[in-house]
Amino acid sequence: MLALVGLGATVTLLPRSVAARYPRQAVAYVPVEDCPAASLVIAWPERSRSRAVAALVRAAVAVAESRGMGAVPDPKIRAFAGQAAANPDR
């Protein structure tokens, strides 16, 4: 995405952390001060039983909880993370 921005092909809104982690000479990062806070979500194929995906979901939940972002609202998330970890990759 940043390559496309640098080439002048598109513009985008990005988290502030991207500007700090991926500085590029051809990209101008401008804070949008009056923009409401954004929520990030994690998505995966509903039928996935991948251990790797389950590990990613568990890590995302742990980070959210450690940062005081509250409980994970959807019980499917915890169920998936536990179930996929017990099953082989598909």
pLDDT digits (tens, 9 = 90+) for 35-46: 887 777 788 888
Return the pLDDT at 86.
Answer: 55
> Are residues 49 and 81 located together in one domain of the fold?
yes
Q: Domain containing 17: what range?
A: 1-36
* C-alpha span between 31 and 15 (Å, rounded): 9
What is the length of the chain?
90
> Are residues 13 and 52 located together in one domain of the fold?
no
> Are residues 43 and 80 located together in one domain of the fold?
yes
> Are residues 20 and 59 located together in one domain of the fold?
no
> In 3D, which of 32, 24, 31 has the Cα closest to residue 8?
24
> Are residues 53 and 67 located together in one domain of the fold?
yes
> Are residues 46 and 22 located together in one domain of the fold?
no
Output the pTM of the full model.
Answer: 0.50
Least confident of 8-17, 60-69, 81-90: 81-90
> Are residues 27 and 45 located together in one domain of the fold?
no
Query: Do residues 90 and 59 lie in contact, with contact meaning Cβ atoms separated by under 8 Å?
Result: no
* C-alpha span between 79 and 61 (Å, rounded): 12
Q: How confident is the model at residue 90 (pLDDT cuts 50, 70, 90)?
A: very low
> Are residues 48 and 90 located together in one domain of the fold?
yes
